[in-house]
């Protein structure tokens, strides 16, 4: 405010105070610039309040956006974990189903080489997982149970394989003997095995019997 304005305001205020003192004796005089200062202060306060409100609104919007991001991120993580849990459950069901099939094949003596290899792989994987610190208690317990089951039945499976192999050898040996006897009997077609043909000398009969015994061995 210029000095001329201040002087004018001072004169005006003094004149007003003179009139008021005559009309209302004892009334407190009006101080120059007091009202203006009050108005300016009020304007300043209003400006500060407006700025504060604007700042708070911006902050609230920023917090809301951050909360929305956190919520979406949390929902995405929950969906991912749920999908992972479903996959784990499916893998467990599939593994249990395969083990039941293998157990049935074992009991029936029909375990194939491929299934035996699968059991061997499961054994190695089970041992590796059981030693891993990344597994939780439930997974480690399941892995140990699987390992125990496989190791328990592995020796039985080997015995079945050996038994089957032995039976095949015996069967092949019997077939070879039968084929050998058939070839020997072709010399005397229609002759009952063990009987010499008519007119065969004792020496020839004895020789024939010796050859038969040699063939049997």
Residue pLDDT, tens place only, 144-197: 666 666 666 655 555 555 666 777 777 777 777 776 655 544 444 444 444 444
- Count: domains in the chain: 2
Question: Quick one: 129 and 73 in the same domain?
Answer: yes
Domain range enclosing 158: 139-176
Last residue within a domain, chosen from 134, 168, 185: 134
- Residue 60 is predicted with a pLDDT of 83
- Furthest-apart CA pair in the chain: how many Å? 183
* Residue 99 maps to a domain: yes
* Residue 160 maps to a domain: yes
Mean pLDDT of the chain: 68
Question: Quick one: 127 and 143 in the same domain?
Answer: no
Question: Quick one: 116 and 145 in the same domain?
Answer: no
Of 203 and 109, more confident: 109
Whether the full predicted model's pTM is greater than 0.75, yes or no, is: no
């Amino acid at each position: 405010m210029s000095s001329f304005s201040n002087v004018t305001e001072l004169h005006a205020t003094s004149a007003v105070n003179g009139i008021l003192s005559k009309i209302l004796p004892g009334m407190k005089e009006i101080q120059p610039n007091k009202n203006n200062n009050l108005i300016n202060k009020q304007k300043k306060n209003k400006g500060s309040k407006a700025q504060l409100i604007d700042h708070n609104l911006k902050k609230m919007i920023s917090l809301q956006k951050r909360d929305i991001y956190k919520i979406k991120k949390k929902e995405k993580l929950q969906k991912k974990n749920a999908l992972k849990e479903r996959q784990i459950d499916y893998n467990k069901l599939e593994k249990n189903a395969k083990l039941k099939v293998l157990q049935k094949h074992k009991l029936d003596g029909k375990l194939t080489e491929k299934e035996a290899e699968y059991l061997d792989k499961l054994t190695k994987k089970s041992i590796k997982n059981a030693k891993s610190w990344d597994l939780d208690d439930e997974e480690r317990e399941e892995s140990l149970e699987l390992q125990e089951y496989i190791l328990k039945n592995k020796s039985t499976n080997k015995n079945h394989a050996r038994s089957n192999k032995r039976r095949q050898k015996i069967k092949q040996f019997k077939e070879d003997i039968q084929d050998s006897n058939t070839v020997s009997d072709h010399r005397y077609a229609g002759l009952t095995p063990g009987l010499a043909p008519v007119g065969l000398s004792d020496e020839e009969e004895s020789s024939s019997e010796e050859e038969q015994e040699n063939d049997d061995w």
